[in-house]
Amino acid sequence: MARTVIIEEVGGPEKLKLADLPVGEPGPGQVRIRHKACGLNFIDCYQRSGLYPMQLPHALGMEASGVIEAVGEGVTHLKVGDRAAYAANPPGSYCEARVMPAAQVCPLPDGISFEEGAAMMLKGMTAQYLFHRTTPLRRGDTVLFHAAAGGVGLIACQWARSEGITLIGTAGTDEKCALGLAHGASHCINYRTEDWAAQVRDLTGGKGVDVVMDAVGADTFEGSLDSLKPLGMMISFGNASGPVPPFNLGVLGPKGSLKITRPTLFTHIADHDACQEMAQHLFSKVLAGDVVIRIDQRFPLEQVAEAHRALEARKTTGCTILEV
């Protein structure tokens, strides 16, 4: 049996329940992993609220780290006793132990702690696909990144700095802006006190940015389009302020023949080899010191509802983990 966080109906953080569930043995292509820590992400809130529908009841959580306890037939990249970390479907990482598909579970290097492993996989591989698998980015390009002091944001700031990319960040307080700057953002704009879209234009000499990376959604969408240079790329990869409402695709032409995409990490990591390659790239950044995984909040598993409230209220910075 393993303590596991589940929801039986959608709604607010109060819908999160702690249950004792059987774990079982791994079948072909599966592993059983005993968790050391679990990561917290906005997608967990979207699933809990019903924005991303799931068949209920269901366990929650998309990333964690731990030790492999058992390996099913056909699994060759992991063995019993291996340190491992993952971001993967199906949800269910908020638990002490679980049986799950092995393809997206990655061997965790000794130089990376379990806490870092739990905090970095979903956010770090998101940064990897944003910078390397979505649209060509070169040294000297300029990126606008919303929520620059969040979990993905602080990784993205460091990733951009390590590759000679100018990153203009936005955040909701002066303290969060200072965090973004300390982690590699070239500029960071307080969106609550400044006209951030006008500031982006000023910072780019009126040209706009090459790429916008936007996980905020509804609140920033229009301004993000207006911040792009002609032929620029809008990457909408989250909905922290709510989903982007329907819009007229025709506006992209007059605004400069803009491009737009709505990617998900889980499309990029669906292939085993691609997932392992992305994870290795992320691990290399962390081991080289180019990216430091900042964990600013820790909650025991039984306080998961408080963790969700803090995340949704934008009271967190960096990464948040659940201690098992």
Does 289 share its domain with 256? no
> Nearest CA to 105 among 66, 152, 57, 59?
66
Picking from 228, 262, 296, the residue at the C-terminal end of a domain is 262
Does 140 share its domain with 197? yes
Picking from 215, 243, 262, the residue at the C-terminal end of a domain is 262
Does 200 share its domain with 270? no
Q: What angle do CA 170, 152, 32 make, to 5 degrees?
A: 165
Does 297 share its domain with 217? no
The torsion angles phi and psi of 32, rounded to 5 degrees, stand at: -105, 130
With respect to residue 39, please indicate whether it lies within any of the assigned structural domains: yes
Does 16 share its domain with 118? yes
Report whether 294 contacts 271 (CB < 8 A): no
Q: What angle do CA 191, 178, 132 make, to 5 degrees?
A: 80
pLDDT at 134: 98
The count of domains in the chain is 2
Give the containing element (helix H, strand E) for 287: helix 272-287
pTM, entire model = 0.95
CATH of the domain at 247: 3.40.50.720
Picking from 224, 246, 262, the residue at the C-terminal end of a domain is 262
Q: Spell out the per-residue pLDDT of the chain, length 324, in tens.
A: 999 999 999 999 999 999 999 999 999 999 999 999 999 999 999 999 999 999 999 999 999 999 999 999 999 999 999 999 999 999 999 999 999 999 999 999 999 999 999 999 999 999 999 999 999 999 999 999 999 999 999 999 999 999 999 999 999 999 999 999 999 999 999 999 999 999 999 999 999 999 999 999 999 999 999 999 999 999 999 988 888 999 999 999 999 999 999 999 999 999 999 999 999 999 999 999 999 999 999 999 999 999 999 999 989 998 999 999
With respect to residue 280, please indicate whether it lies within any of the assigned structural domains: yes
- Distance of alpha carbon 300 from alpha carbon 74, whole angstroms: 35
With respect to residue 169, please indicate whether it lies within any of the assigned structural domains: yes
Does 257 share its domain with 285? no
- Residue 255 is encoded by which pair of tokens? 């605004």
Does 314 share its domain with 221? no
With respect to residue 127, please indicate whether it lies within any of the assigned structural domains: no
CATH of the domain at 11: 3.90.180.10
With respect to residue 130, please indicate whether it lies within any of the assigned structural domains: no
Does 143 share its domain with 183? yes
Does 55 share its domain with 161? no
With respect to residue 222, please indicate whether it lies within any of the assigned structural domains: yes
Does 220 share its domain with 294? no
With respect to residue 199, please indicate whether it lies within any of the assigned structural domains: yes
Does 188 share its domain with 226? yes
- Distance of alpha carbon 167 from alpha carbon 146, whole angstroms: 10
Q: Provide the domain limits for residue 185.
A: 135-262
Sign of the dihedral defined by the CA atoms of residues 263, 98, 45, 293, in that order:
negative
- Distance of alpha carbon 280 from alpha carbon 227, whole angstroms: 33
Does 111 share its domain with 147? no
With respect to residue 128, please indicate whether it lies within any of the assigned structural domains: no
